[in-house]
Amino acid sequence: MDMASSPRTVEEIFKDYGARRTAVIRALTHDVDEFYGLCDPDKDNLCLYGHPNEAWEVTLPAEEVPPELPEPALGINFARDGMNRRDWLSLVAVHSDSWLVSVAFYLGARLNRNERKRLFSLINDLPSVFEVVTDRKPVKDKPTADSGSKSRGSAKRSSDEQVKSNPKFVDEGYEEDEDEHNETLCGSCGGNYNADEFWICCDICERWFHGKCVKITPAKAESIKQYKCPSCSLRRGRP
C-alpha cells in the first residue's frame, strides 16, 4: 500500500481502523480456538493481522524493510504455552490495540492537528480490543487520581449545576468492576465515593474530597486553576 492510495481523510482512516479492529476481535473471541491453534510455538515468529476487509490472519511478518505499514507484535506464538490462556489472549489484545492505533496514525501522517484529534476521539469512543477480550465494563463518574486538576459532580444534577467540560474534570473511564468505586475515600471525612455527590481532587497530594467537606461547589471549582486541600495549603504556607 503506497501513501497515494491509502486512506486519507479522518473518516476513511477510521473506517480502516474499524475493519481491522473487527477482524482482530473476531480472532480473539468468536474464532479464538482456531486462532489459538494457529499460534504454534514451534513455528517461526508469527503476527496477528487484521485486514481492511475484516479478515484476520496469523502469518509471518512482512519481508520488506521498512514495511508498508507498521507491523503487529512479533512472535506472539512463543509465549502461548508458557502462560494461562486468558492471560496470553489479553497480552495479544494489548499489543493489537497498540498496532491498530499505530496503523491509524501512520495513515494519518498528513492530517492536521484538529483532524488527528478528531481521529483519536473516534477511536477512543470504541472499547479497546483489550477491554472487549477481558469483558471490561464502562463505568461512569469514577474519579481517578492521575487526571491532573480534577473534580466530579453528580450525574443527576440539573443542567445549570452541571460541571462544564474542561481539563479540570475527568472523562468517562473503563474499570473492571463497579465495586472499585468503594476504594475511593474522602480525605476529610473518610466517607466512600458516591456518584451522586460532587468530589474534587487535590493537585498536590492527589487525595479526593467531598466538595461539601472542603466547601467547594461545582461552580467554584470551575474558577480554580490548581486546587490545594486544606492540609496542603497549610504545609505550603509554612517557611
What digits encode the pLDDT tens for the residues 97-145?
Answer: 999 999 999 999 999 999 999 999 999 999 999 999 998 765 444 444 4
- pLDDT cut 70: percent of the chain above it: 76
Place of cell 492537528: 113
61 within 8 A of 83, measured Cβ to Cβ: no
Helix (H, G, I), strand (E, B) or coil at 108: coil
**Could you read off the pLDDT of 200-230 as tens digits, one per residue?**
888 888 888 888 888 888 888 888 888 888 8
pLDDT tens figures, 144-162: 444 444 444 443 343 344 4
Mean pLDDT in the chain?
A: 80
Record the pTM.
0.57
Domain 185-238: top CATH class: alpha beta
pLDDT band at 55 (very low <50, low <70, confident <90, very high): very high
How many angstroms from the chain centroid is the CA of residue 140? 14
Q: pLDDT tens digits, residue range 18-47?
A: 999 999 999 999 999 999 999 999 999 999
Check pLDDT > 50 for residue 164.
no
Residue 183: what pLDDT?
65
Within the chain, what is the greatest distance between any pair of CA atoms? 67
Residue 27 has a pLDDT of: 97
What is the spatial distance between Cα 153 and Cα 195, in angstroms, rounded to a whole number? 8
Lowest model confidence (mean pLDDT) among 15-19, 106-110, 193-197: 193-197
Helix (H) or strand (E) segment spanning residue 189: none
Q: Where along the chain do the CATH 3.30.40.10 domains lie? A: 185-238
Mean pLDDT across the stretch 73-97? 95
